[in-house]
Structure 1
Amino acid sequence: MSFLVILLVLLIEKFSDWRHRLQRDGAWLAQLRRLEARPRLTASPWLALALLVLLPVLLLGCVLWLLEPLAYGWLSLPLHVLVVLYSLGRGAVKRELGPFRDAWRRGDEEAAALVAERDLKLREAEPASLLQAAQGLLLWRSYEGFFAVIFWYVLLGPMAALAYRLLALTVEHAQLDPLRERAAQVRHAFDWLAVRVLLASFALVGNFVALNRALLHRLLDWDMPARQLLAEVGPQAADLEPPIAGEAGVARLDALGALLVRARVLWYAALALWTLLA
C-alpha cells in the first residue's frame, strides 16, 4: 500500500491544492499555547510533549486499528493519504527562493541579502556565506519537508510520519525552551538515520567519491545536527563549481535541485522494486 499512497500523494500535490488546504495547524498551535500557559506542564516538558505529539499519534493508531479489518484494509487508504499530505513540509522552498535567485542572477548582492532576510530568514554578512546558507536551506527544507516524512512512512507507517511533523512543529513554534529542547532531542533521533539514508542516495546519483570522502568520518557521529551534516556534506555530491557570483551562483542552486530530483527518482524506483518483491 505504501507505493500506492505515495503515488496518490504526488498526484494530489502536483494537480491540486489539497495539501495546503489540509495543512491547517491552527487548532494544534492553539493547544500548544494552552499547554505552555499551564504551570504544571511548564515544569514537565516531557508530559507536555506527550500530550502534543504522542496523544494524536496514538489516536491515529486507534483509528487505523479500527479500519484495518474492514474491506481488507482498503478503507484505511484515504486516511494514509491524508496523514502523509498533512505530514509533508510547510511552504514551497523553490518558490520562496525565487526572488533571491532573481536578485543573485542580476549580481545585486545587497538586494539578495535583503530578500534572503525577508523571505528566507537568512542573515549572512558575506555573499559566499549567504549563498551557502541558501544552499543549506534548499537541502534542509527538501529533506524535512519530503524525504524524512516518506522515509518514516515507508519504514513505520503513518503514525511515524505524523509524529515527525508534530515534532517539527513543536521545535519551530514552541516558546518554552525546555519543551523545544525535548522535541529537538526526539527529532534528532528521527533525523539521525533518515538524513544518512538521503546522503547515501546522493552518493548513488551524484559524485560518490567526493561525498564518501566528506561523509565517512561523520557517518556515526551522533552529536552532529542533521541540518549541519546535510549542509556540509550534501553539496559534495552535486559537483558544484567554485564561482558563486551571478548566473554561476544560481547554477549551484540548480545543480542541488537536480540532485534532489534524482534522489527522489531513486527512492521511487527502490520503493517500487520493494513493493514488487515483497
Structure 2
Amino acid sequence: MALLALVIAILIERYYHGNQSAARDKLSSDNWYFSYLRFCDKSFAGKNWYQGWLKDFIEAVLPVLLVFVFFKLFDDGFVASFIVLALMVLILVHTFGPQLPSKQLEGYFKAIENGERQAAYEYAMAFTGKESENEEAMVKDVTESIFYKVESQYFSVAIWFVLLGPAGALLYRMLLWQEQEDRLGALGSKLHYAMEWVAFRISALTYLLAGDMASGIERSKAQFFDLDVSGRVLLNAVATASMGLGVDATESPCAANRCAISLSQRSGVILFALVAVASFLGWSFV
C-alpha cells in the first residue's frame, strides 16, 4: 500500500505543480500545527510540569502518536483499506513540498539567461535564505540549497513514510517546521538529528548510484558512519562530489545548479525504485 500511496501522491504533485501552485501551497500549510503549538502555550504556559522533555513530547510526538493509533484502528477490512489509503495520500501530499526547487528557481534561471545579475542575486537569496558574496558563491549556495530542499521536502518524507508509515512522515515534517521557527527543544533536536542522519544517508546512496560514484565515495567514506557528521553535511558532500567534473561553468553561470537539479531527479527515480522493491518484499511499514 505504501507504493500505491506514493504513486498517487506523486501524480497529485505533478498536477498541482503544473496548474495550481497556490492551491498546492495550501495543502502543505503549517498553520494547523502552529495553531496547535499556540494552544499548548496558552493552555499550559506557567505550569511547572510543562517544560523540558514533556513539553517537547506534547508538541512534537503526541500528534504523531495519535495518528499512529488512528491508523492502527483501521488496519482491517476492505472499506477500511480505502480510508487508510486516502488518508495516507493526504498526509503525504501535506508533508511533501510545497514546491520543487526547479519550480522555485524559474525566475533565477530566467534572470541569469537575460543577464539580470541583481535580479538573480535576489532570487538566489530568497531561495537559499542567505546573501552570497559573489556570483561563484551564489551558484554554490544555490546548489547546496537544491540538494537540501529536495531531500528535506521530498526524499526524507518518502523514506520515513516507508520506514514508519504516515506517522513517520508527519513527525519529520513537524520537526522541520519547528527547526525553521527555532522552536526545537532538546528532545525534538535529538529526534530531528537522528531522522536526518538516517534518511540523508539513504538518499546519499542514491546520489552515488545516479552520479559519479567514485568521487562521491572518495569524498564521504570517512564520514558516512560517523555519528558526529550530520545528515546535511554528509549529503552535501556526496551530492556535490557525485556531480563529477562534467559541469561546464563557461557554458552557463548556473550550469552547476541545473546539474544539481538533474542529479536530484535521477536520484529520485532510484529512490522510488528502492521503495518499490521494499514494498514488494514486504519491508515497508505500511
TM > 0.5 between the two? yes
Secondary structure at the counterpart of residue 217 of structure 1: coil
Query: CA-to-partner distance for each residue in 1:106-147, whole Å, 9 max, x for gaps?
Result: 444433223322454221112222111100110000001110
Q: Which amino acid in the other structure matches residue 268 of structure 1?
A: F
Partner of residue 6, structure 1: 6
| 1:163-242 pair list within 5 angstroms | 163-174=171-182, 176=183, 179-180=184-185, 182-241=187-246
Distance 1:81 1:235 in 2: 32
Q: Can you give the 5+ residue segments of structure 1 that lack an aligned partner in the other structure? A: none
Structure having the higher helix fraction is 1
Alignment RMSD (CA, Å): 2.4
| 1:251-266 pair list within 5 angstroms | 251-266=255-270
Distance 2:151 2:8 in 1: 20
Contact 2:175 2:192 in 1 (8 A): yes
Q: Can you give the 5+ residue segments of structure 2 that lack an aligned partner in the other structure? A: none
Q: Which amino acid in the other structure matches residue 48 of structure 1?
A: K
Match of 2:65 among 53, 58, 67: 58
Secondary structure at the counterpart of residue 249 of structure 1: coil
Query: CA-to-partner distance for each residue in 1:148-173, whole Å, 9 max, x for gaps?
Result: 01111111211111110111111112
Contact 2:24 2:98 in 1 (8 A): no
Distance 1:102 1:81 in 2: 34
| 1:95-134 pair list within 5 angstroms | 95-134=103-142
Contact 1:131 1:244 in 2 (8 A): no
| 1:17-166 pair list within 5 angstroms | 19-36=24-41, 38-40=45-47, 44-71=51-78, 73-74=80-81, 75-166=83-174
Structure 2 length-normalised TM:
0.86
Distance 2:29 2:142 in 1: 27
Identity, % of aligned positions: 23
Contact 1:105 1:250 in 2 (8 A): no
State the Cα distance separating 1:41 from its structure 2 match: 7.4
**Does 142-151 or 41-50 show the bigger shift?**
41-50
Secondary structure at the counterpart of residue 220 of structure 1: coil
